[in-house]
Amino acid sequence: MTRSRSVFITGGNRGIGLAIARAMAEAGDKVAVTYRSGEPPAGMLGVQCDITDPSQVDAAFKRIEEEHGPVEVLVANAGITRDSLLLRMGEQDFTDVIDTNLVSAFRVAKRASKGMLRARKGRLIFVSSAVALLGEAGQANYAASKAGLIGFSRSLARELGSRGITSNVVAPGLTATDMAAELPEERIEALRGQIPLGRLAQPEEIAAAVQFLASEQAAYITGAVVPVDGGVGMGH
Ligand code: NDP
């Protein structure tokens, strides 16, 4: 069995993030998750943190470092949508999505990399989307943020690889969480029709790919984009 590591998952209180957190905690890792309101999930370290606020991010890292030690595996998972067609998309709809999905990933990765550079090892994993490479009408802001994560992650793979740090992206397709539940039923049906496997992903199926990329077995994988999308992107 591998040693218990300090794992930090943003947006780990529900949806895909919670499935990742549970999988890693069950495997014996020390898992910390962000939450913004309510109660954090039982059995994990919950740090109250809005990732768009740099001081809250710094405070979250300090707390995790005190309780679990420096972050060894970072999963930048938190994300939002503000869907609308281009002409109806407000400036704030665009910048809010970029700030949460992309700038905040930079914020947490930069902070996590400090400890990883010292340790000369670490795993950075970014949760992007199949939409990053396919595009989607009504999601120009979201697709741009998720495509940005790919260039960001690949740059880190080059920059940090010589220090034993890997950086990878997981690109889920439509997954059964609150985010998908916001879509109208007809839209879900239309999207389902485009998925070769004919169904939505379960959050645990995304978690399995993240867990693999965080594992010892994935030590030689960096700069990758791993699709978990039922074939919708045909491997991109
Ligand atoms: P959910 O909407 O179910 O959960 C989103 C998570 O992100 C919540 O934990 C939420 O916290 C957190 N979050 C959002 N904004 C912030 C913020 N400013 N600070 C801290 N936490 C924040 O989404 P999913 O679980 O479905 O999505 C997880 C990731 O997977 C996202 O990046 C999403 O884009 C991506 N994805 C999802 C797909 C899907 O079909 N569901 C498909 C492809 C990718 P809180 O509870 O406090 O709101």
> Residue 235 domain-assigned?
no
Choose which residue among 81, 150, 175, 191 to substitute to test ligand 1 binding: the one with the highest number of ligand atoms within 8 A of its C-beta: 175
Considering the entire predicted model, what is its pTM?
Answer: 0.98
Domain total in the chain: 1
Ligand 1 pocket check for 11: Cβ under 6 Å: yes
> Residue 132 domain-assigned?
yes
Q: Is 203 exposed, middle or buried (0-12, 13-18, 19+ CB in 10 A)?
A: buried
CATH classification at residue 60 = 3.40.50.720
pLDDT digits (tens, 9 = 90+) for 168-191: 999 999 999 999 999 999 999 999
Task: Say whether 220 is catalytic.
Answer: no
Q: What are the Cα distances from residue 211, in Å, to 7, 132, 178?
A: 11, 21, 22
Quick one: what percent of the chain has pLDDT higher than 90? 97
Bridge partners, 170 (sequence order) = 127, 226
Kindly state the tokens that stand for 120: 């000369």
Choose which residue among 9, 16, 57, 107 to substitute to test ligand 1 binding: the one with the highest number of ligand atoms within 8 A of its C-beta: 16
> Residue 57 domain-assigned?
yes
pLDDT digits (tens, 9 = 90+) for 134-155: 999 999 999 999 999 999 999 9
> Residue 233 domain-assigned?
no
> Residue 103 domain-assigned?
yes
> Residue 19 domain-assigned?
yes
pLDDT digits (tens, 9 = 90+) for 72-116: 999 999 999 999 999 999 999 999 999 999 999 999 999 999 999
Q: Give ipTM to 2 decimals.
A: 0.99
> Residue 129 domain-assigned?
yes
SS (H, E, C) the chain: CCCCCEEEECCCCCHHHHHHHHHHHHCCCEEEEEECCCCCCCCCEEEECCCCCHHHHHHHHHHHHHHHCCCCEEEECCCCCCCCCHHHCCHHHHHHHHHHHHHHHHHHHHHHHHHHHHHCCEEEEEECCCHHHHCCCCCHHHHHHHHHHHHHHHHHHHHHHHHCEEEEEEEECCECCHHHHCCCHHHHHHHHHCCCCCCCECHHHHHHHHHHHCCHHHCCCCCCEEEECCCCCCCC
Set 142, 145, 211, 214: catalytic member:
142
Whether pLDDT at 2 is above 90: no
> Residue 232 domain-assigned?
no
Structural domain of 218:
6-226
Quick one: what percent of the chain has pLDDT higher than 70? 99
Ligand 1 pocket check for 179: Cβ under 6 Å: yes
